[in-house]
Chains A and B, each alone.
Chain A
Amino acid sequence: MSTNTNTTHPIFSSYERKEGFFDEIFDEKGNPKEIYKKLFEIYGGHSIEDFINLNNKARASFFNQGITFQVYGDNQVKEKIFPFDLFPRIIHPSEWEIIEKGAIQRSKALNLFLHDIYHDKKIIKQGIVPAEMISSSENYLHQMMDLDPPGGIYNHVSGTDLIKHSDGKYYVLEDNIRCPSGVSYVVCNRTALKRALFGVFNHYKAHTVTNYAENLLEMMESVKPHGVDIPNCVVLTPGIYNSAYYEHSYLAKAMGVELVEGRDLFVENNFVYMKTITGPERVDVIYRRIDDQFIDPFEFKSDSSLGVPGLFSVYKQGNVCLVNAPGTGVADDKAIYTYMPDIIKYYLDEEPILNNVHTYHCSRPDELKYVLENIDKLVVKPVDEAGGYGVTIGNRLTKEEIKNVQEQIKASPRKYIAQPIMSLSLHATYIDDSKSFEPRHIDLRTFTLLGKDTEFVLKGGLTRVALQKGNLIVNSSQGGGSKDTWVLKK
C-alpha cells in the first residue's frame, strides 16, 4: 500500500510513501516533518528546470575537480563521479547526541577489546567471546602480540555504519576499523550543496564538517612515538590508481602533510625515512591507507610492492606509529559484531548506547526454536563465512526453500546465526528519470577519531543512498549516491 504526500508541488508529486519503512521526511499523514518544513518551503519554490540545472552543475563541479573513481570497462578506463543528491539529510541535535556518544562508546570498547586479545585475552579465557573468533580469523596478526602501540590506540579512525529501522531507532550494522573511507565526500557534498543552493543555509544552523582534517592531524600528533617532540606525519597511499586516491590527496592537502607512496619511504637503523629532494627526512606517524597484508613485504604478503620493507619492525620497536594499528581487522569481522553488546559491558561496564541488530545464536536451544519457527522474518547467516556466502533472506524464500533452510540449521545449529530483516529508512532523493523527488533507502556512516586522551566524532557523516528503486544496498560499487548531512546546532 502506498499513499501520495499532501504536497501539491510537482517536484514531490511522485513521492509515494511506503508502509513498513521509516520515512525521514513525511509523517503518517503525508505532511513534512517539523525539521524539514522550512527546507520544503524553499525547495517548493524552485521549478523542475531549476533542479535539472542545479543537478547538472553539481555534477560538472565534481568532474572538473577530478573527484572521480575509475571503472574498468571493455578496453578503456572510464571515470565516473559518485552521484550527489541535492536534498540534504537533517539530524536533530538530540538524536545526534545519542549517535555521538554511542559511536565513542563503541570505539573505546573496540580499542580495549583489541588490546586485550593482543595481550592477556581475558575476554576469551572467561568465555565471553569464543576462542574461535580469533583462531579462525585471518585478520588476527600474531606479530601484534604483546606490542604496545604508541598512545595505546589501535582503532584511531572508525567508521560506524548506522541505519534507522522501521521502529524509528538507529541500529549499527557494521563497525569499520581497518581503513574506513568516505570522509572526503562528506566535505565535497557540503561544498557542492553550498555552491548550488546556498540560500538554504540561512534557515538552518548546521555544524561544519571541514574541521575533520585538523582533528585528524591533532589525533595523529597525539600518538607520536616516544621521545619525539614535533612529529612528522604523512598519509601513505597505494597510488593514483586506487579508487580512494582523491580522498588520500584531499586529506594530505587539508592537513598540510606529505602524501607518500611506499616507494618514497625506507627503513634505516630502525627508523622510517622519506626520500626528499634534500635527503632523507624522518617520519613519525603514518596514516596508512594500505591494508595490513600490503604494508611490509618482509612481514606480510611478500610480493607486495605497495608497502615498505622493514616498516613493521620499526613499528614493533616503537619508532613509528601506524594509524590504524595493524591487526584491527579481527574486531570488525561480522562474527565479532554479534558480541558487541557483551564487549561493551565487559570492558566499560556500561549498557550499549547504540542498538546492535539482535542476533539469535542457533547453538542456544531456545533461540534455535524461535529461528526455526520464524525463518520467513529472519536473515540466516553461517557464522564462519565471509562476503555474504550462504546468507538467506527470509521474506524472499519459497515454502520449499524455507524447509531446506530449516533442515540445514537442524543438521548443524552451531554453524548458524539469524537476525531480523532490517528496513532502511527512506529519504527524498532527486531522480533523473522522473525529474522529481522520490523516496530512496539511506544509511549513515559516522567517523570517529580516537587519540591519546582525545576523541572526536565528525558532526555530520556520509548519508549513502541506494539510487535504484527498492534497492537496499547503498554501496558506491552498487550504484549508490550520497547526500549532504546536517547535524543541527542545539
Chain B
Amino acid sequence: MTDSTAPRPPTGDHQVPLELQVNGRTARLSADIRTTLLDALRDGLGLTGSKKGCDRGQCGACTVHVDGRRVLSCLTLAVGAQGKQVTTIEGVAEGDRLSPVQQAFLDHDGFQCGFCTPGQIMSAICAIRDGDTGSDAAVREAMSGNICRCGAYEGILRAVRSAAERTARQEGTG
C-alpha cells in the first residue's frame, strides 16, 4: 500500500519576484510560484491579520478585498493578485481610528476567540457596500460564508446591521 496524492508542481527554481499593491502601498517580495495570496500576506509581508482556518476556501477566515471585492486569499495565487488593489484587515482603520465596521464589532461583541474576526469584518465591509445587509435575513445569508465556531453570530448580526444603518445614514446626509 502506498500513498501519493498531491499534484506535482514543475521542478526547478520556484521563486519569483512579486509586486503587490497592499493597503495602498507597493510591496515587493520574492515568493514561490505556488504561494497563495494568503501566505504571501502572512509570511511575505508580515500581515498576519488574515487567518488560515482551512486553506481550502471553506471557512472565510482569510477573506480580503481584491479590487474592492471580497475574495478568499487562500484560493488566490499571489502571482495572480499582481496589478490589483489588495486590502486586508490591517488596511481598514485610519491610524488608530477604527473603521465603522470594526467599531461595530467591538460595540456588539461580534466575536469571541477572534480568529475568524478579520475575515468576518472584511466580508461585512463588502456586504454592506454591496447593499446585501438590509435585513437580518439578508445579513445571515451574506455572512454565511464566514464560519464562527465560537458561535458569535448574534453579535456579528447586530454589528453588521448597525454598521450598515450607520453607513446608510451617512450616505443619506452626505
Question: Are A and B a genuine interacting pair, yes or no?
Answer: no
